[in-house]
Structure 1
């Protein structure tokens, strides 16, 4: 059995815990995109998107690839893509419980 560092797990999961970061991840789930493309796709603010990209990159969830003057952002690997898909599968099953949960802490 794997030894779990709970603090590290929480830090990793923090990368998924903001609406903008989830939007970014969904935006780049199937293909790499530049900051400008991400900003356009999710109708966000470039500075804000850049901060969230830094968080996602810092947590090891995404990677950036330099090509000329552009950086293309994509998911780190297939496992991250599968994790995002699994979030959707599990959420579909528990969505009504999540919607009515009064114990959610912001």
Structure 2
């Protein structure tokens, strides 16, 4: 793997590495939503959610579309949905180890 490919991969994974970004991805996993809907579902604030949406969009994980005065956000494609599902499946196998891991404490 080249250094450029590794750096790109790290940027991609970074999109998943934040609690709020992960909450946003889960919120739009099954249907597109507006910023207001995402804010309500995640109990966040609009400014913070908007920053994380920009990050997710920049990482290529989500897309947006404008309809009138509303912007709707959704997962980029079914592969992102599958990846979120795969995280859950893998987590089932390693959950106890992850929970006990002392290397990644907040």
The two structures share one fold, judged by TM-score above 0.5: yes
User: Partners in 2 of 1:10 and 1:91 — Cα distance?
Assistant: 20
Q: Offset at 1:105?
A: 6.6
How large is the Cα RMSD of the aligned pairs? 1.2
Query: Cα gap change, 1:88/1:9 in structure 2, threshold over 3 Å: closer, same or farther?
Result: same
- Gapped regions of structure 1 (runs ≥ 5): none
Matching residue of 1:97: 97
- Alignment TM-score, normalising by the size of structure 1: 0.94
Residue-pair matches, total: 104
* Partner in structure 1 of residue 50 of structure 2: 50
Q: Which runs of 4+ in 1 moved over 6 A?
A: none
Aligned to 2:73, what secondary structure does the other structure show? strand
What is the CA distance between 1:104 and its match in structure 2? Answer: 2.0
Query: Which TM-score applies when normalising by structure 2?
Result: 0.94
Within a 5 Å distance, the mapping from 1:14-29 to structure 2 comes to 14-29=14-29
